[in-house]
Each structure stands twice: as C-alpha cells, then as structure tokens.
Structure 1
Amino acid sequence: MMTNSFKGGCLCGALRWEADRAPDYMGLCCCGDCRKASGSGFIPFMGFPASALTIMGPTRQYRCQAFRGGVSTRNSCPTCGGLVFGGEHGLSDSHTIYAGSLDDPSLFEPTMLLFDRERPAWVVPPEGLTRYPAMPE
C-alpha cells in the first residue's frame, strides 16, 4: 500500500488533507456525538499524528464536551459543510480524519469499533473488529 495515497477532502474540495504515511489506527465509532455528526449509525475514522498531516483550506469548528471531560473539536468545510477531521489544527498532537473524506475509500480497513454499547441494532459491524463498550483506556 502506498502511504502517499492517503489524501482527501470535503465535498467541494475547499478543505483538503494529505498524509505522508498510513494511519496509526482505523475504526468505527458509534457514540451519540459521532452518530449525530455523521447522520448515520457511526463515523468511520483514522488516527494520524499531526506531524504526518498537511491540512489545507478554511475550517468551521464545532466544539463539545468529550467523553473523558475535555473538549472535542470537529472541523468541517465552511462552504459545503463536509465533515473532514477532528482536533485543533496547529495545536493538537494528533488528528482524527473521517474516512468518508478519503479520495480512495478502498484504503479504509477498520480494526476496531468504539462505543459498542451505543451501537444501534441496525448497524452490523464487519467481522473481526475488536469491540470496545466505550473508549479504550
């Protein structure tokens, strides 16, 4: 797999990202916030260190309380509203990239499912995922 093929962006292309390597992890999150943000039963996500990412374009940020009490920041395109990444660009050590923003969706290979306890019954996870009732320690 070519690591330089991990790139993507929003619906209109104004907010783009590129990674210089493969993500540290990939998974599905079924928490209530991710379900609301995605309009679906889960959000597919990938985790990258901030140093591996180049993020280009304007963002619109939404902040809410995170599971462990801190602040969770979601970044979307101010033009089309496409949800692209989590974290504070320029401040966070790592970022969650939403896999729906990938240019090549075949690169997404989840290995975990977070917040299985909140997963709607109609969400049927792929075989072989490590399932966590909430956020792993």
Structure 2
Amino acid sequence: MSKSPTRYSGGCLCGRLRYEAEGDPLLSGHCYCSDCRKASGSGFIPFMGFASTAMRFSGEARQFRSTSFRGSDAVRNFCPACGGLVFGGEVGKDVSHTIYAGSLDDPSLFHPTIAIFARNRPDWAVMPLGLTVFDTLPA
C-alpha cells in the first residue's frame, strides 16, 4: 500500500482565510530577515514552501507588499478581519507560496530543516540545532 500524501491545513485567527496544501513542502525552516521579524513580532518566522499547484485558498486576503532581497515584490497575505498573517505569494501569479507555520491547524506537522537570513538573527532568537544555515538565501 502506498502512503497517501500529507495534507496541511490552516488559517487565520478568526478562520475566514484558509488554505490546504498537499504533499511534502519544498522548503521548511526559519526566516530571520528583518521583514519577517517585523511581520511576526518575533525573532523569526517559521515557514513552509509549496508549489502553487499543491495549494488551495479560501476566503478574502489583504496583501502587504515590500521589496524582497532579490528586488522583486514580497507579498504577505493576511486576514482583513483579524489581521492574522497566513501565507506569502500572489495567488494566480507565483509558482510557489509560503505558509506561515504558526497558522497550521496541526503545528506538529512543521519540521524545519533550514534557517535563512541567519546573518540577521537577533542574539536572543535561539536557533534549533541541526538546521542547515544560510546567511541569506540558498543558492
């Protein structure tokens, strides 16, 4: 018998903005960039990346755009009702999306393997042992 693909689901605080993802994440880790720190109000954002074809979204999202490390738009989607930060990327445009692991219905499904923008990590943000660490982005 083959194992069925893992399904991830989650959403915002009030439940109006939801997602489902199927299969293994392309990436899973912690981002310590200054934008993620400010968006989360913490020392990092735990994230998982999925191909857009593996994702389904429901509900209304508002977007905040900023300039990414590579110079393109970084798009963060949040719920207009509760303000909960849920996912990154522009639906219908981007080939992949990030989901913020704090929005998972089952947080035990998050297993970080990398740390990105580690050069920006505050001293007080403890990095788990065993992560592959990148000063900025993986090549």
Could you say whether these structures have the same fold, taking a TM-score greater than 0.5 normalized by the shorter chain as the test? Answer: yes
RMSD: 1.2
Asked if 1:80 is matched to 2:82, the reply is yes
* Alpha-carbon offset, residue 20 of structure 1: 2.0
TM-score using structure 2 length: 0.95
- Secondary structure of the corresponding residue to residue 30 of structure 2: strand
Q: Deviations over 1:4-45 (max 9, x none)?
A: 431100000000000121211200000000000000000000
Paired positions, count: 137
- Secondary structure of the corresponding residue to residue 74 of structure 1: strand
Structure 1: which 5+ runs fail to align?
none
Say if 1:26 and 1:47, in contact at 8 Å, map to a contact too.
Answer: yes
Counterpart of 1:12 in structure 2 is 14
Counterpart of 1:119 in structure 2 is 121
Q: Percent identity?
A: 58
Q: Deviations over 1:68-116 (max 9, x none)?
A: 1111000000000000000001111100111011000000000000011
Counterpart of 1:90 in structure 2 is 92
* Alpha-carbon offset, residue 2 of structure 1: 5.9
Instruction: Report matched runs for 1:31-70 at 5 Å.
Output: 31-70=33-72
Structure-1 separation of matches of 2:112 and 2:4? 17
